């Protein structure tokens, strides 16, 4: 049915990753500048160490410099990296670059690959993904308003985007714009590669948010007659949504993988403090209310972990895992937030302070209910899928 | 890490079991007498069919007439059987007999095995397990008060037990009694085989309860100078708790396995009615509140199923699965009750009536929070185990 | 803003009611026949005692034999009566008769009042309310299918009803039937008084349900060319929904009032057993998990009580309390079930047995999420009302 | 029983407060410097306006410049003020000064009152309250380690405090220190008035926390042979805990009152956006998942409001309200956080950004589970109180 076992070789890689996290990454966290990340003089040597140990950009296929070990392995690896806000960057798997490289790999021309893919993979440049608009629900991209009109051998882009993560330090953006307003809903838009600095591409403001894990902000962007060469289109005209789906699906499971790391670390901090801190003459660990936190968290983490790896395993088998990914997206988001919150509660005021990573986890964690589709949409979509399967007599027993 | 895949041969067995459930067992449910079960003229032919298809008593090792296919397989099989209150009896895996055969297999002398084990396995006679006492928390068996005193070549038992399931139609009981009050807490008691009808073994009353899946009631029993032969002891003097633990551990995971069947069936009923029933001109399935029920149930069932199979898999590997079993015992109990309750809610008054199996599931399901240790105790025990592991630096990543 | 204080005179009445409950009603519970109620030889003297103390049928206006003390007082009184399944019957406030008398009082002709009202109030005869139909969501009564057609000076009723509580021992039914299928949705139906025994009024079957507090079952009923005299109509043609709303609104708050009694009694049983029962050498009351049950229950009961009395107070002021009633209907239903469930959990197996009233409360309590509109409908309706108020700038601060 | 009605005069005051909030305070929020508050040039005129309208420092008795209108009125007023982080400061009721003035009023000598009370009330100077220590659970103040030893006509204070809110801009601190280590647990400590700037009173660091409503930080403080005059003691030697309790009790209800304002504002933002924002062609307000958020929030706000006012009313009657205050402290904290979180969820990314006050509410709200005693302690304490009342047969019906 399913087999989530890493090979011996994979276990060695995971152990190496864990060692780097504990010996190098956690200690480097004190140098993080919130909303900016690690200074290069700290970051670059860490990245080099990862490259030296052959752990760099593990999500990529082998021929392009990755490890090509499949999604279950990535789940186990991201569980390590996800335990620190800087883990993904140090290991060459930082969003939104990872998603962008995926699109480039799948739809890029040789010229596009040469120009954009290699330097992004090597973390020489960064990138952003400009889809969301203010007046369009992220869950309903068919309503996009930004347009790209062909004029001569150029595309002219007009419109506004917001919450474009990483735009502040990107060299280029992948931009979604409507190329055929009258087409069927999922064929209205196309994707474009736009260099930052192109006239008419204006960074309006960095929208401040609750969490500060993002290094390059979340920007509001204006396209004001922004002209780009004809060959800047990614894939074919009208393929925008197809490419976006390809990007978002695996992205969602990557979130769930990283969350496992945050949960593990929060849980360990909870255990640690519960054993250390005394009140009324005995350690917190001896109070049933605290034991209940621990037991509930353990059960939920176990659920979250198995569901994430199961979805990854289905992907590795070439099976349709959309249902499993949707389930763990909303279910895991709640578990993530609950476990962080309990860890804070065990720490009391200390947990509420910035002396532990928990408060940053808490702020960042809240976004998990929202990004890449709010819980409410995933619930609706997955229910409809299950109902349809049931109607068609091919409902999987699992759900 | 883990592999829950059934072999091709196992898949065939599971398909056969599913077929019997759907074609024979569900239709037979209308003959159930609540609190009594199926009449023999309906039951026996069904059991014969199961025996003919080589699916009888699958939990037992091969040499004693079972299938010996391990706990993951049992999980998948119980998922089928558990979907009907009569499934386990039809397939020769009804509690409390299963637990009792386990003890007999492990600790019985040849004479005990000959006299008791074979007929119980063949469902010719039934049995009960008499441990719980009124004034002693089930979660704290060290406080047992029933005593067994050696007089000549007899043991003389005195005391009271209650909630002894199945006593009303048993041929014998396995009785836990204190043989050495001054020994260490877990060496105070021993187990005995007592034939029903032995003078001094008195059935006081059948304690009525909320659920009616039990066929032989839940009895209050009195031992009033009940004399049994010396050789009625099971195992050695003082081994009572050791044997009880051996029985309870796997029992708990069996509960979780059967629950999967109840969840699956409740979930399917929910889907079915949501598609069929209209209100305000459209099927319930199109209302978001109902879709939320479906999505949440799917996520929780997925969690429950993976955690149960994972615990079973660890047992099959010879690994310590006490933590995993405790987690799914309390976590699964909540999921079970929530899913049944949502299925009822979707059905409205119909769900509250006895026209569907849901209301019986609901009443029976409530006991899952209590039997074999209340949630509160499992939470406490598992938290202590995790804290200890953490302290000793051997905490498993899973939890 | 609000004042929920009983007068001194009211406090005396409440104390008298409490005394009767504790000294007479609770001890009489052992004579309850589930699904039937108290035998008359036990019931009638209790009712007489209530009448003697001037506490009978308190919900009615004074001129018709009630107390006329308003809804806050009724809330406080029902809190007493609701703590036992037989309380309402003993005090002359049993459903569905109470709702029916309300309709008769408001819309009955003198002849109808003479024939039906007086004997129902005196508990000489019982009645039922036949609205719900199988293929029509109770929450969407505009879809009613039962029809009443005028032929000469008779109405001819045809159709099916189900879950008609109390039909098994009623002398008459108030029946809702469509009189003008083409009218506006809320003017399609009318109400009729139909004597049990009228040819064509057929009791099909008593639909068994989870709870057993109802004395007269929940029946499926067939109208097969059932002819009743012209003057059997209640109110005017087309007023069916108006009258039903008048009945249901206050009915819902009465549920919430009675629930307070169930909560109080469950809570007291929880406290009692927590103090009495020992495990691991100390009373359950000293374990934090049990203390958490107590604290959470106390908070929720407090919420439930204040919200119920607040809604009653608004009704007494002649203010629109539909929002408050809807809120406490679904919110209180959850609290009710949670508190009963925690009380059971504290009792362990004993709580699951019929040795305490808790298991009956649990079964009956489940219906609270369904009767008189499922939670999902109340949530939807109250949200729409709040949104409308907000839009119209007259949102009350309270919610 | 209870009466929460404001008089006509009080209603006028509340309306005036509401007007100031909406017309002056909300628009001023854009000038807030996180962690610092409003610049004086914005703040002072607002405060003057409040003073002019006779709404200043309403919590104080009339003779000292307050309104003296009781706790129910304060509840209704704080519901207004609490809807903005700057509300309390603008209205002269900012913590921790309010608590400190209370102690001064109750225990201060004429000299202390003259020196400290008047200027604090007038917001000319600010103050802090130094009780919490790192190694002592705030919920267990009997373990305090900071000492004050009498030497000659001076007290010499040594020790460390942390999370001392407002210390960064205070003119003086009220300090709790052990004066008699061998006394009974609640008589070990005394309170002292210490001027900032006294040698040996060292501000170590401002502990950064998740929320930024505090204007003067949360400081770690060191007392290193800090010598203060004999007459700096507040009240008598050994009265520290008595005075602290007097301060904390009402403080907790003040939190609950302010939370009502946060809930109201979050709820209104939720309604507003749900009506405005469209997805899939219709406003969010028409989706059941959003309607469920609204309905649940309305029910919980109603519960929270009634419980808060009820506790206030009991205080006004001179009744013991410790139980009610504890209940609303932990129950209200959960409601507060849930409502803010739902409001964020309705807003999607926008709710996660700093474009609305919701994300600041969310961060600040998390502390409600911790400050002035974590939920776990309130649950335990209130349960013990209820159990004791039950044992002594004087349990109030309310809980």
Q: What is the DSSP string of C212-268?
A: ---SS-EEEEEEEEEEEEGGGEESSTT-HHHHHHHHHHHHHHHHHHHHHHHHHHHHH
CATH code matching the domain that covers C127-238, chosen among 2.40.110.10, 3.40.50.620, 2.30.110.10, 3.30.565.10:
2.40.110.10
Nearest in space to D395 (alpha carbons), one of C297, A97, B75, A201: C297
Does C207 contact B355 at a Cβ distance shorter than 8 Å?
Answer: yes
Question: What ipTM describes this predicted complex?
Answer: 0.95
Nearest in space to C303 (alpha carbons), one of C331, C322, C261: C331
Choose the closest CB to B380 out of A268, A291, A306: A291
Angstrom distance (rounded) from CA A17 to CA C313: 65
**Could you tell me the sign of the dihedral formed by the alpha carbons of B361, B367, B373, B375, in that order?**
positive
Domain with CATH 2.40.110.10 in chain A: 127-237
Q: What is the pLDDT of residue C325?
A: 95
Q: What is the pLDDT of residue D136?
A: 74
Per-residue pLDDT tens over the stretch D14-73: 999 999 999 999 999 999 998 889 999 999 999 999 999 999 999 999 998 899 999 999
Nearest in space to B138 (alpha carbons), one of C349, A230, C323, A163: C349
Collect all residues of chain C within an 8 Å Cβ-Cβ radius of residue B287: 376
Residue of B nearest to C364 (CA): B352
Choose the closest CB to C210 out of B363, B369, B376: B363
Nearest in space to C17 (alpha carbons), one of C41, C60, C46: C46
Strands A172-178 and A127-130: parallel
- Phi, psi (rounded to 5 degrees) for A244: -65, -40
Question: Which of D17, D21, D297, D383 to probe the C interface (max C CBs under 10 A)?
Answer: D383
Collect all residues of chain C within an 8 Å Cβ-Cβ radius of residue D257: none
- Phi, psi (rounded to 5 degrees) for D157: -105, 135
Domain with CATH 1.10.540.10 in chain B: 8-101
B294 touches chain D (CB under 8 A): no
Q: What is the pLDDT of residue B1?
A: 44
Low-confidence residues of chain A, pLDDT below 50?
A: 1, 399
Residue of D nearest to A378 (CA): D289
Tell me the average pLDDT of chain A.
93
A287 touches chain C (CB under 8 A): yes
Collect all residues of chain C within an 8 Å Cβ-Cβ radius of residue D6: 1
B316 touches chain A (CB under 8 A): no
For residue D305, name the pLDDT band (cuts at 50, 70, 90): very high
Nearest in space to A253 (alpha carbons), one of A301, A300, A310: A310
- Among all chains, which residue has been given the structure tokens 């919900």? C59
Burial class (CB in 10 A: 0-12, 13-18, 19+), D397: middle
Instruction: Please give the helix or strand (H or E) that residue D268 lies within, else none.
Output: helix D240-276
Domain with CATH 1.20.140.10 in chain B: 242-391
A394 touches chain B (CB under 8 A): no
Strands C127-130 and C172-178: parallel
Measure in Å the smallest separation between the Cα of A118 and chain B Cα atoms.
Answer: 34
Q: What is the pLDDT of residue D138?
A: 58
Q: How many C×D Cβ pairs under 8 Å? A: 159
Instruction: Show which subunits contact B, needing at least 3 CB pairs below 8 angstroms.
Output: A, C, D
The full length of chain A comes to 399
Question: Which of A276, A301, A303 to probe the B interface (max B CBs under 10 A)?
Answer: A303
Q: What is the pLDDT of residue C3?
A: 64
* pLDDT by 10s per residue, chain C, length 399: 456 778 899 999 999 999 999 999 999 999 999 888 999 999 999 999 999 999 999 999 999 889 999 999 999 999 999 999 999 999 999 999 999 999 999 999 999 999 999 999 999 999 999 999 987 765 566 789 999 999 999 999 999 999 999 999 999 999 999 999 999 988 999 999 999 999 999 999 999 999 999 899 999 999 999 999 999 999 999 999 999 988 777 778 999 999 999 999 999 999 999 999 988 889 999 999 999 999 999 999 999 999 999 999 999 988 899 999 999 999 999 999 999 999 999 999 999 999 999 999 999 999 999 999 999 999 999 999 999 999 988 766 554
Rg over alpha carbons for chain A, rounded to the nearest Å, is: 22
**Domain D8-101 is of which CATH architecture?**
Orthogonal Bundle (1.10)
Note whether C301 and C326 are within 8 A (CB): no
Domain with CATH 2.40.110.10 in chain B: 127-238
Angstrom distance (rounded) from CA C372 to CA C385: 18
B300 touches chain A (CB under 8 A): yes
Q: How many A×D Cβ pairs under 8 Å? A: 111
Measure in Å the smallest separation between the Cα of C264 and chain D Cα atoms.
Answer: 8
Note whether D125 and D197 are within 8 A (CB): no
**Domain D127-240 is of which CATH architecture?**
Beta Barrel (2.40)
Domain with CATH 2.40.110.10 in chain D: 127-240
DSSP-assigned states of every residue in C294-352: HHHHHHHHHHHHHHHHHHHHHHHTT---HHHHHHHHHHHHHHHHHHHHHHHHHHTHHHH
Q: Which two tokens stand for residue B273?
A: 């009615």
Instruction: Show which subunits contact D, needing at least 3 CB pairs below 8 angstroms.
Output: A, B, C
Where helices occur in chain B by DSSP H, the ranges are 8-20, 26-28, 40-52, 70-81, 87-90, 97-107, 110-112, 118-121, 240-276, 288-316, 322-347, 349-352, 358-366, 375-391
The full length of chain C comes to 399
Protein fold of A127-237: Butyryl-CoA Dehydrogenase, subunit A; domain 2 (2.40.110)
Cβ-based neighbours of C178, under 8 Å, separated by 6 or more: C144, C145, C146, C147, C148, C188, C189
B331 touches chain A (CB under 8 A): yes
Nearest in space to B163 (alpha carbons), one of B192, B131, B194: B131
Q: Which two tokens stand for residue A376?
A: 């409410």
Angstrom distance (rounded) from CA A349 to CA C327: 35
Measure in Å the smallest separation between the Cα of B285 and chain D Cα atoms.
Answer: 13
Collect all residues of chain D within an 8 Å Cβ-Cβ radius of residue B292: 288-289, 292
- Least confident stretch, A114-123, C140-149, D313-322, D367-376: C140-149
Binned average pLDDT, 10 residues per bin, chain B of 399 residues: 76 96 96 91 97 95 90 95 96 93 94 95 96 76 88 97 95 97 92 97 97 93 98 96 82 92 97 93 96 98 96 90 95 98 97 97 98 95 96 68
Residue of B nearest to D290 (CA): B288
Does C289 contact A287 at a Cβ distance shorter than 8 Å?
Answer: no
Does C328 contact D299 at a Cβ distance shorter than 8 Å?
Answer: yes
Residue of C nearest to A292 (CA): C289
C334 touches chain B (CB under 8 A): no
Angstrom distance (rounded) from CA B265 to CA A222: 53
Give whole-number Cα distances, B139 to A30, A373, B315, C347, C355, in Å: 47, 45, 23, 13, 20
Does A299 contact B5 at a Cβ distance shorter than 8 Å?
Answer: no
Question: Which of C288, C290, C342, C346 to probe the A interface (max A CBs under 10 A)?
Answer: C288
Protein fold of B242-391: Butyryl-CoA Dehydrogenase, subunit A; domain 3 (1.20.140)
Measure in Å the smallest separation between the Cα of C291 and chain D Cα atoms.
Answer: 5
Q: What is the pLDDT of residue A65?
A: 87
Does C4 contact D6 at a Cβ distance shorter than 8 Å?
Answer: no
Q: Which two tokens stand for residue C55?
A: 């506490």
Angstrom distance (rounded) from CA A17 to CA A92: 12
Q: What is the pLDDT of residue C185?
A: 86
D282 touches chain B (CB under 8 A): no
Residue of D nearest to B291 (CA): D289
Cβ-based neighbours of C63, under 8 Å, separated by 6 or more: none
Does D292 contact B287 at a Cβ distance shorter than 8 Å?
Answer: no
Angstrom distance (rounded) from CA B207 to CA C349: 10
Angstrom distance (rounded) from CA D257 to CA B293: 35
If you average pLDDT over residues D260-272, what whole number do you get?
Answer: 97
The answer for D362, left when phi > 0, alpha when psi is -120 to 50, beta otherwise, is alpha
The reported pTM is 0.96
B287 touches chain D (CB under 8 A): yes
Per-residue pLDDT tens over the stretch D75-99: 999 999 999 999 999 999 999 999 9
Collect all residues of chain D within an 8 Å Cβ-Cβ radius of residue A362: 210, 366
Q: Give C220's strand partners.
A: C205
Angstrom distance (rounded) from CA C188 to CA C144: 9
- Among all chains, which residue has been given the structure tokens 């308190």? C58
């Amino acid at each position: 049915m399913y087999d989530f076992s890493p090979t011996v070789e994979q276990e060695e890689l995971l152990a190496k990753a864990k060692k780097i996290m504990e010996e190098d990454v956690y200690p480097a966290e004190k140098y993080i500048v919130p909303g900016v990340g690690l200074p290069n003089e700290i970051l670059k040597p860490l990245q080099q160490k990862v490259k030296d140990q052959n752990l760099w950009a593990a999500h990529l296929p082998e021929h392009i410099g990755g490890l090509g070990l499949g999604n279950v392995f990535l789940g186990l690896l991201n569980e390590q990296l996800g335990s620190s806000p800087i883990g993904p960057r140090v290991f060459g798997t930082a969003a939104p670059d990872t998603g962008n490289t995926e699109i480039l790999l799948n739809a890029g021309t040789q010229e596009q690959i040469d120009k954009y893919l290699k330097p992004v993979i090597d973390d020489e440049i960064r990138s952003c993904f400009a889809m969301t608009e203010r007046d369009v629900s992220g869950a309903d991209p068919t309503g996009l308003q930004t347009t790209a009109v062909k004029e001569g051998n150029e595309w002219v882009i007009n419109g506004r985007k917001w919450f474009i993560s990483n735009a502040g330090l990107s060299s280029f953006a992948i931009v979604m714009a409507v190329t055929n307003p009258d087409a069927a809903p999922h064929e209205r838009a196309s994707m474009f590669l736009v260099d930052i600095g192109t006239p008419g591409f204006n960074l309006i403001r960095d929208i401040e948010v609750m969490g500060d894990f993002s290094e390059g902000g979340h920007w509001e962007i204006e396209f004001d007659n922004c002209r780009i060469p004809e060959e800047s289109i990614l894939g074919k005209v009208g393929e925008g949504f197809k490419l976006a789906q390809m990007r978002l699906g695996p992205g969602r499971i990557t979130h769930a993988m990283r969350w496992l790391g945050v949960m593990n670390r929060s849980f360990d901090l909870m255990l640690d403090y519960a054993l250390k801190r005394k009140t009324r003459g005995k350690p917190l660990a001896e109070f049933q209310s605290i034991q209940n936190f621990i037991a509930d968290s353990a059960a939920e983490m176990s659920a979250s972990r198995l569901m994430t790896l199961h979805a990854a395993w289905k992907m590795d088998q070439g099976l349709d895992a959309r249902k499993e990914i949707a389930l763990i997206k909303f279910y895991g988001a709640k578990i993530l937030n609950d476990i962080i919150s309990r860890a804070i509660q065990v720490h009391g005021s200390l947990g509420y302070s910035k002396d532990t990573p928990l408060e940053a986890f808490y702020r960042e964690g809240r976004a998990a209910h929202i990004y890449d589709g709010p819980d409410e949409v995933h619930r609706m979509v997955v229910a409809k899928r299950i109902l349809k399967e049931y109607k068609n007599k091919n409902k999987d027993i699992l759900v």
